[in-house]
């Protein structure tokens, strides 16, 4: 291939990748692969300017408007950032800035959040406009949706002038994991990463759908300020925005280029302790006057640059591809991997999502593959390495019968998933019960998968309601079951009888109803009887319940078998407690573990504030831990939390939770 052909290839491929990323919210390759191609093209263009196309992706800000939303012309064009990949390149960036500015400079280093740009306008201190970036000049009006984002003030505190700010809408890691779990259970294609999940959630025509998704926002740049002087430095700007009540990035660091480059290293590990996914860092000239005097190239400001983390992918072998059956009957191909360490944890399995995913990526049994953690949490096979094939690799064939019960599986036209339609499929029943007793649902201590399997095998239970009819005598003949453990289990079951109605609703596994929607429903309908009588229009009046969820709930309730299960639960002595509106003890029932040095709070302070909000603070991480708050130099507790898949949050997120709890 000569140079012109290679450039043509890159133009076409990048165009295709841009469309997938910006318009379909479904990237075809990793960011690192995209960046490598874009870089190669930029280098070829620099060496062969006569071959450069006017519409080259190297010279344009990606993204496009969607016809669904009304267009908004940005008062200040929204540029992009140039990328660097090493400390060396950051130093050359600084050298260029310092040469142009004719003086040594200070910089601010902040996380580069993996979300999507949002431009916010406050008029007289009130949020009046919110727009996506679009092509940088014209974006989409997404104000209705942005108004549903928690933690973003609709009115600024202590400033009644005009402010245009730029920020990033993102989805925290834990919300991303929960959303994908719900999507997979519902037979929908999961989002590839938190960025796509955030984009897909923000660009919803129905703001109620956006409200269901746990989106968050950070602001990081003042675009325009009227009614007071501009701060002199970026650090001061961040402080000012924070004082006005806007969510700003707490983890930023200012210093000269040596100090900043030294920080870059420590971020490789620190990134995993954040509650949100970052794909790199952003380096900005701290002095605002100097930063703006440096001006812009066609695409990016000269006074700021991105540093992209190296892709954290590892190579391993697909030992087998098995098919699992979930509680909703969805068949999910699962890659069994030769164990490998990725981003701090050992990965031996990765979901392959659905039939199309395996086919598109052409992943075969025996293949060498690259694996990473999507959104820093979910193990995922990025791609196969076909160049390493030896010829004996086996393509995967999706079974068209349920691997568990043998009944015919079906694939609905508008779904990516094959489903086992047999409601009594042992796998579905088993998985449904695991979910029912799990911590986010009825939380029955000591009733783990092994015990459930025994109870099912021996015919002691056939559904979740049977759990509440168990007696000590029934348990005693089971393997590894002494008198004491039987008594403990019965006590734990008794305790679960009065769990909240939200916990029960979560446990029932109504499609699309996760713990959050369950809580919202239970707040409006405190008892099963009241919910059973809910009318559609009424459900739709609840701000966080959209039509899809409402229909799913009504469909579930209208089903005779479901109604019978609910009746049987009540008959067997389940008496769900009414949900209480969030009050001063909104964190009650949650267990936190603190580790490392927190940026502003002393450990004793954090502990006191958590306890005041009703939370428990434990000293060691266990399966019972809900959140680990990780600070600087967090050690083995953090590793343990990662192994157990416990949500890891920063002080920032902790403060947000505490702030939310006194509302």
Angle value at C-alpha 80, between 78 and 81, nearest 5 degrees: 140
Cα gap 611→439, rounded to integer Å: 21
Largest CA distance in the chain: 86
Main-chain phi, psi angles of 541, to 5 degrees? -75, -15
Binder to ligand IVH among 45, 110, 277, 380 (CB under 6 A)?
110
Element (H, E) at 62: none
Is 109 a binding residue for ligand IVH by CB under 6 A? The answer is no
Is 117 a binding residue for ligand IVH by CB under 6 A? The answer is yes
- Residue whose pair of structure tokens reads 């960036």 in the numeric block: 93
- Residue whose pair of structure tokens reads 């890891």 in the numeric block: 648
Helix axes 547-558, 560-571, angle to 10 degrees: 70
Q: How far is the CB of 95 from ligand IVH (least distance, A)?
A: 20
Binder to ligand IVH among 164, 217, 219, 282 (CB under 6 A)?
282
CB closer to ligand IVH out of 48 and 296: 296
Is 216 a binding residue for ligand IVH by CB under 6 A? The answer is no
Is 168 a binding residue for ligand IVH by CB under 6 A? The answer is yes
Structure tokens at 24: 């379909």
Is 21 a binding residue for ligand IVH by CB under 6 A? The answer is no
Structure tokens at 128: 């009046």
CB closer to ligand IVH out of 62 and 576: 62
Is 84 a binding residue for ligand IVH by CB under 6 A? The answer is no
Is 63 a binding residue for ligand IVH by CB under 6 A? The answer is no
Q: How far is the CB of 168 from ligand IVH (least distance, A)?
A: 5
**Footprint of ligand IVH on residues 298-317 (CB under 6 A)?**
301, 304, 306
- How many residues at the interface with ligand IVH, by CB under 6 A? 14
Kindly list the distances between the CA atom of residue 525 and the CA atoms of 11, 483, 578, in Å, as whole numbers in the listed order.
55, 40, 9
Kindly list the distances between the CA atom of residue 602 and the CA atoms of 308, 598, 605, in Å, as whole numbers in the listed order.
32, 7, 5
CB closer to ligand IVH out of 79 and 461: 79
Cα gap 421→410, rounded to integer Å: 7
| Burial per residue of 360-388, b for 16 or more beta-carbon CB atoms within 10 angstroms, e otherwise | ebebbbebbbbbbbbbbbbbbbbbbeeee
Closest CA to 516 of 529, 503, 528, 526: 503
Stretch that binds ligand IVH, among 110-118, 457-465, 523-531, 613-621 (CB under 6 A): 110-118
Binder to ligand IVH among 113, 437, 486, 566 (CB under 6 A)?
113
x-marked contacts with ligand IVH along 124-163 as a string, rule CB under 6 A: ----------------------------------------
Binder to ligand IVH among 93, 122, 220, 276 (CB under 6 A)?
220
Is 197 a binding residue for ligand IVH by CB under 6 A? The answer is no
Is 81 a binding residue for ligand IVH by CB under 6 A? The answer is yes
Kindly list the distances between the CA atom of residue 109 and the CA atoms of 95, 253, 297, 628, in Å, as whole numbers in the listed order.
16, 5, 21, 25
Is 260 a binding residue for ligand IVH by CB under 6 A? The answer is no
CB closer to ligand IVH out of 212 and 651: 651
Q: How far is CA 532 from the centre of its chain?
A: 32
Q: Give the catalytic positions in this structure.
A: 112
Q: How many CB atoms lie within 10 A of CB 1?
A: 8
Is 241 a binding residue for ligand IVH by CB under 6 A? The answer is no
Q: How far is the CB of 79 from ligand IVH (least distance, A)?
A: 4
Stretch that binds ligand IVH, among 73-81, 350-358, 395-403, 499-507 (CB under 6 A): 73-81
Q: What residue ranges bind ligand IVH (CB under 6 A)? A: 79-81, 110, 112-113, 117, 168, 220-221, 282, 301, 304, 306
């Amino acid at each position: 291939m000569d140079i012109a052909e290679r450039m043509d290839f890159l133009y076409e491929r990048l165009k295709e990748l841009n469309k997938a990323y910006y318009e379909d919210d479904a990237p075809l390759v990793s960011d690192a692969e995209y960046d490598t191609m874009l870089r190669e093209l930029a280098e070829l263009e620099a060496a062969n300017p006569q071959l450069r196309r006017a519409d080259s992706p190297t010279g344009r800000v990606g993204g496009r408007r969607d016809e669904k939303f009304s267009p908004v012309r940005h008062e200040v064009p929204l540029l992009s950032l140039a990328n660097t990949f090493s400390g060396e390149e950051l130093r050359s960036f600084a050298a260029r800035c310092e040469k142009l500015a004719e003086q040594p400079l200070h910089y601010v280093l902040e996380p580069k959040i993996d979300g999507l740009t949002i431009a916010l306008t406050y008029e007289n201190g009130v949020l009046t406009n919110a727009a996506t970036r679009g092509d940088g000049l014209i974006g989409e009006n997404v104000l209705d949706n942005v108004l549903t984002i928690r933690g973003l003030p609709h009115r600024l505190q202590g400033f009644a002038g005009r402010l245009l700010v730029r920020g990033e809408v993102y989805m925290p890691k834990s919300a991303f994991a929960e959303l994908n779990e719900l999507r997979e259970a519902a037979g929908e294609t999961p989002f590839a990463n938190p960025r796509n999940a955030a984009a897909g959630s923000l660009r919803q025509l129905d703001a109620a759908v956006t409200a269901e998704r746990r989106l968050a926002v950070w602001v990081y740049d003042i675009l325009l300020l009227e009614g007071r002087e501009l701060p002199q430095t970026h650090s001061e700007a961040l402080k000012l925005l924070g004082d006005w009540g806007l969510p700003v990035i707490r983890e930023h660091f200012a210093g000269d280029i040596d100090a900043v480059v030294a920080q870059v290293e420590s971020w490789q590990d620190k990134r995993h302790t954040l509650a949100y996914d970052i794909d790199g860092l952003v380096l900005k000239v701290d002095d605002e006057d100097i930063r703006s005097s440096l001006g812009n190239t066609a695409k990016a400001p000269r006074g700021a640059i991105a540093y992209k983390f190296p892709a954290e992918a590892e190579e391993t072998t697909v030992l087998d591809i098995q098919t699992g059956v979930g509680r909703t009957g969805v068949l999910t191909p699962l890659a069994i991997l030769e164990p490998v360490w990725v981003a701090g944890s050992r990965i031996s399995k990765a979901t392959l999502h659905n039939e199309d995913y395996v086919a598109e990526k052409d992943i075969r049994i025996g293949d060498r593959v690259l694996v990473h953690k999507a959104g820093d949490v979910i193990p995922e096979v990025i791609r196969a390495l076909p160049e390493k094939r030896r010829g004996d690799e086996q393509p995967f064939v999706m079974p068209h019968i349920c691997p568990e019960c043998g009944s015919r599986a079906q694939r609905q036209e508008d779904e990516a998933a094959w489903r086992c339609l047999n409601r009594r499929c042992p796998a579905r029943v088993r998985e449904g019960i695991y979910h029912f007793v799990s911590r986010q649902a009825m939380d029955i201590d000591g009733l783990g998968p092994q015990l459930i399997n025994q109870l099912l095998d021996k015919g002691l239970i056939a559904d979740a309601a049977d759990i509440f009819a168990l007696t000590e005598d029934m348990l005693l003949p089971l393997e590894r079951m002494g008198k004491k453990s039987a008594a403990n289990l019965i006590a734990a079951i008794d305790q679960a009888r009065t769990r909240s109605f939200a916990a029960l609703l979560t446990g029932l596994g109504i499609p699309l109803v996760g713990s959050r929607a369950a809580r919202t429903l239970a707040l409006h309908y405190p008892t099963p009887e009241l919910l059973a009588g809910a009318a559609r229009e009424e459900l739709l009046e609840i701000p966080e319940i959209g039509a899809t969820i409402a229909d799913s709930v009504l469909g579930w309730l209208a089903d005779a078998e479901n109604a019978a299960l609910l009746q049987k639960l009540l008959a067997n002595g389940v008496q769900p407690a009414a949900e209480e509106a969030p009050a001063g003890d909104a964190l009650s029932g949650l267990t936190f573990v603190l580790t490392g040095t927190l940026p502003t709070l002393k450990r004793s302070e954090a502990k006191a504030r958590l306890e005041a909000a009703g939370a428990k603070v434990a000293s060691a991480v266990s399966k019972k831990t809900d959140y680990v708050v990780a600070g600087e130099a967090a050690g083995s507790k953090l590793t343990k939390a990662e192994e157990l898949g416990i949500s890891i949050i920063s002080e920032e997120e902790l403060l947000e939770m505490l702030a939310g709890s006194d509302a």
